């Protein structure tokens, strides 16, 4: 069996479609979790998000921000505020995965930056990039990681970010696996889009618990 690094062969959405039989959903109701019934934020949460944005912008103005710094300054703080460090969730980082493709003679190998688990079930996959990468570059890669989910009867959520921008994803596996993704939330906006990013994360957390 051939084993290949995910990043070497999964670079476009067409690669994802061909290797996993995954298709983007045309149903407007497939992924409403990123905009419908979002929880409200408190004043302290908004103030904290303002500080996170200000801190990230401070480092970004000096040049590119590495993936490790993006995780430390932004991603880890958001996951903490969303409650993913606390029961009933467990957070795993740098998780190695083998991904089976439609071609049974090929296995792709990769490493998930952050994996949110609840009762041994995968709940969310987070992939981060350095700021020099366009956030859309990470979409095919994170979709491949999401297809490694061993439990197929529950939807899985994902987030890809380069610190500047954020995109949420949803995958439902099965005989005809489907996915969709949200609009892009950019820290270059005049308003702090981290408010919405945190609302979506908290909303997903509430959904998977109940």
pLDDT recorded at residue 152? 81
- With residues binned 3-state (H G I as helix, E B as strand, rest as coil), the percentages for the chain, rounded to 5, are 35, 30, 35
Say what the pLDDT of residue 78 is: 97
Q: What is the reported pLDDT for 101?
A: 82
The predicted model scores a pTM of: 0.94
Average pLDDT, the chain: 92
The pLDDT value recorded for residue 104 is 61
pLDDT of residue 119: 84
Give pLDDT < 50 ranges for the chain.
Answer: none
DSSP strand pairing (121-128 vs 106-118): antiparallel
Residues near 19 by Cβ (< 8 Å), separated by ≥ 6? 9, 10, 101, 102, 103, 106, 108, 144
Please report where in the chains the tokens 């996915």 appear, as a residue: 179
Q: Indicate the length of the chain as a whole number.
A: 210
Range of the domain at 82: 2-209
User: How many separate domains does the chain show?
Assistant: 1
Best CA proximity match to 96, nearest among 108, 83, 106, 109: 109
């Amino acid at each position: 069996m051939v084993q290949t690094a995910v990043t070497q062969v999964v670079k476009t959405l067409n690669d994802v479609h061909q290797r996993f039989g995954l298709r983007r959903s045309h149903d407007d109701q497939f992924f409403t979790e990123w905009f419908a019934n979002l929880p409200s934020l408190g004043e302290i949460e908004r103030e904290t998000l303002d500080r996170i944005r200000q801190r990230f912008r401070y480092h970004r103005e000096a040049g590119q921000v590495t993936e490790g710094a993006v995780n430390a300054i932004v991603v880890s703080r958001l996951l903490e505020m969303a409650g993913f460090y606390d029961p009933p969730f467990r957070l795993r980082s740098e998780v190695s995965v083998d991904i089976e493709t439609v071609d049974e003679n090929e296995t792709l190998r990769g490493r998930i930056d952050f994996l949110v688990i609840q009762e041994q079930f995968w709940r969310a996959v987070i992939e981060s990039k350095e700021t020099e990468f366009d956030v859309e570059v990470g979409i095919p890669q994170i979709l491949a990681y999401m297809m490694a989910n061993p439990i197929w009867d529950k939807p899985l959520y994902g987030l890809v970010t380069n610190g500047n921008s954020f995109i949420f994803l949803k995958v439902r596996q099965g005989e005809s696996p489907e996915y969709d993704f949200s609009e892009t939330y950019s820290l270059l906006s005049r308003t702090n889009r981290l408010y919405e990013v945190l609302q979506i994360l908290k909303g997903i957390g509430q959904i998977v618990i109940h």
